[in-house]
A and B are shown apart, each in its own frame.
Chain A
Amino acid sequence: MYLLAWMLVSGIQAGILVFYIRLEALHAVTDSIVFNTLFFLIALVVWYPVRYIPLSNKNIFFVVLNLLALGILVIVVWMSAGFFIMKTIFSDDEAFMQSLLLSVPYRIISGILLFIVMLMVYYLIVYSRNLKERIQNEAGLKALVKEAELNLLKSQINPHFLFNSLNSVSSLTLHDPAGASEMIIKLSDFLRYSLKYTEKDKNPLKDEMENIRRYLDIEKVRFGEKLQFFIDCDKPSETWFVPNMILQPLFENAVKHGVYESTEPVTIDMKCRIEKGMLGIRITNNFDQDSPGRRGAGIGLKNIRERLRLIYGREDLMHFRKEDGSFTINLFFPIS
């Protein structure tokens, strides 16, 4: 492509020289080939500096200076090398050499023009390359965000919870169709709520608690009397905004480490109050002390701490303690 373009330019120039300036064909063609081939080679080399002089508004003076120096260098090299070659070839043709010398100003102007065209073409190439790269990067970034969102959802909806709940539904369809229907509706509402929001959103505590009640109701179908819960939130705290689904993992933990691992009833107790301009939430559950802690515990808590840090920029919004068979977590939500 590049080569072809230059051959075309050479041809046109030779044509101009022959028909308008009335040069001999041999002289004209040689002249065109020599000068254009030279510029072609120089232009190839110049590609590298051009690539590393990015066009930016920040240091426009620096860029202009660089390009100016580059231009002068290119034209000087081009002209001297051209004249040197022509002189070697046509050393005995005085008249032609004379006319060649006369054409210097014209050649400098054409050199400048050629240089400018070359720069434009080069910067166009650089720009389109950057654009492509940027589009690729953006697509990559989008994929990353999507993946993160997906992971968030995956961590929110435990597949085993889902399959065990569906198994309960399967059981209910046989001996309690009304109960099965109710369970499917609760499960659907729970899933819909969980899928609706992204990580950034905040919801009134009331909405969040409604969803948590759905979750606990579903687990209660599975575990019956083994799971007890008491939720005590007053009106002002119910209207307070909290990051969506941030409490859900805590209840899941309480069920997982409490109810799943115990043969005795487990009670989850939640209390929320507004104090010192913050919403304070305390969740307590008992657990079987004989059952050793499972691996992987603590990741959920770490995620919550991280989310609180990202959203509120504070590290001190979560505290928990484990003692005498009971686990207590305290959370604080500043006003948003």
Chain B
Amino acid sequence: MNHKILIIEDEEPARMLLKQYLAGITGLEIAGEYADGFSGLKGIQDHKPDLVFLDVQMPKLNGFEMLELLDEPPEIIFTTAYDQYAIKAFELNAVDYLLKPFPEERLREAVNKAFERLRVKKKTAYTGLREHIDKTGEILSRVVVKTRNEIKVIPADQILYIEAQDDYVMIYTPSGKYLKQKTMKYYEDHLGKDEFVRVHRSYIVRTDQISRLEPYEKNVWLVVLKGGQKIPVSRSGYGLLREVLDI
């Protein structure tokens, strides 16, 4: 049986090249090609491919954001001109990371590796995907969430606050709240340090949304947001707040 393959890549010549190289390899069949993260995501859900060639830099959703939204991601071979995402890619257990431009031989190697993984049917553990701590220290400019019927890209500057909810976090924005399977620690590390403060074990607040600090009990404070929401502040959170707000 042939392995089903998808190509998600926004540049036509790059897709042509991949197809040309792949034509020389037996045991695979290209089920579809897509030019952006949104349509790529839909393609994966429709075709349930074994292997995906994924570009990182794409319109709408980039490769990593797209992966985040998949419950059971297929095997992934990244193809990109950016070398700085290699570590992140391997942390996510990608089969390979091809730096453009790459020779045909390099692609064959990557495909063989993928076939080997598929052969032993070692179900790739993508557990790292949602938990992994990005060591590049990259600051998020947006967060991608999936609701029942749509995918939403939330710019970081539209997040009001984030609340811990068991294994998930709830992200509050002016247009609604969204559940996301990530840790508080992840957002604490990957949102701008000046724009967001973790005021409590269970809360991260956008600093420019804070309207005032209110005493609640002895040694306990509440942060009042511009929208009126009241959020508890822990002792260490109070220290951080004083630092950030310069009071």
Give Cα A294–Cα B153 distance, bound, in whole angstroms.
Answer: 13
Give Cα A175–Cα B13 distance, bound, in whole angstroms.
Answer: 10
Mark contacts of A135-176 with chain B using CB atoms, 8 A cut-off: 1 yes-contact digit, 0 otherwise.
000000000000000000000000110011011111110110
Task: Assess the A293–B141 pair: CB atoms within 8 A.
Answer: yes
Q: Does B69 contact A (CB under 8 A)?
A: no
Mark contacts of B48-80 with chain A using CB atoms, 8 A cut-off: 1 yes-contact digit, 0 otherwise.
000000000101100000000000000000000
Task: Assess the B153–A222 pair: CB atoms within 8 A.
Answer: no
Give Cα A296–Cα B14 distance, bound, in whole angstroms.
Answer: 26
Known: A291-B153, A294-B141. A168 touches B60 (CB 8 A): no
Determine the chain A residues whose CB is within 8 A of the CB of B109 once the complex forms.
none
Q: Does A261 contact B (CB under 8 A)?
A: yes
Task: Assess the B101–A163 pair: CB atoms within 8 A.
Answer: yes
Q: In the complex, what residue of chain B is closest to A262 when comparing beta carbons?
A: B59
* Chain A binding surface SS class: helix
Task: Assess the B153–A292 pair: CB atoms within 8 A.
Answer: yes
Q: What is the distance, in angstroms, from B80's C-beta to the closest C-beta of chain A? A: 9
Task: Assess the B35–A263 pair: CB atoms within 8 A.
Answer: yes
Q: Does A221 contact B (CB under 8 A)?
A: yes
Determine the chain B residues whose CB is within 8 A of the CB of A167 once the complex forms.
11, 13-14, 17, 81, 100-101
Among A168, A288, A292, contact of B14 (Cβ-Cβ < 8 Å): A168
Give Cα A315–Cα B67 distance, bound, in whole angstroms.
Answer: 45
Q: Does B142 contact A (CB under 8 A)?
A: yes
Give Cα A221–Cα B13 distance, bound, in whole angstroms.
Answer: 8
Q: In the complex, what residue of chain A is closest to B158 when comparing beta carbons?
A: A292
Q: Does B1 contact A (CB under 8 A)?
A: no
Q: In the complex, what residue of chain A is closest to B142 when comparing beta carbons?
A: A292
Determine the chain B residues whose CB is within 8 A of the CB of A90 once the complex forms.
none
In chain A between 276 and 298, which residues have their CB closer than 8 angstroms to a CB of chain B?
288, 290-295
Among B12, B13, B57, contact of A260 (Cβ-Cβ < 8 Å): B57
Q: Does A127 contact B (CB under 8 A)?
A: no
Q: What is the distance, in angstroms, from A215's C-beta to the closest C-beta of chain B? A: 16
Q: Does A224 contact B (CB under 8 A)?
A: yes
Determine the chain B residues whose CB is within 8 A of the CB of A223 once the complex forms.
10-12
Among A159, A163, A171, A293, contact of B13 (Cβ-Cβ < 8 Å): A171
Task: Assess the A292–B141 pair: CB atoms within 8 A.
Answer: yes
Give Cα A294–Cα B141 distance, bound, in whole angstroms.
Answer: 6
Give Cα A175–Cα B15 distance, bound, in whole angstroms.
Answer: 12
Give chain B's interface residues, CB within 8 Å of chain A. Answer: 10-14, 16-17, 20, 35-36, 38-39, 57, 59-60, 81-82, 99-101, 139, 141-142, 153, 155-156
A-B contact pairs, 6 of them (CB 8 A): A159-B81, A171-B13, A171-B17, A260-B10, A261-B60, A263-B35
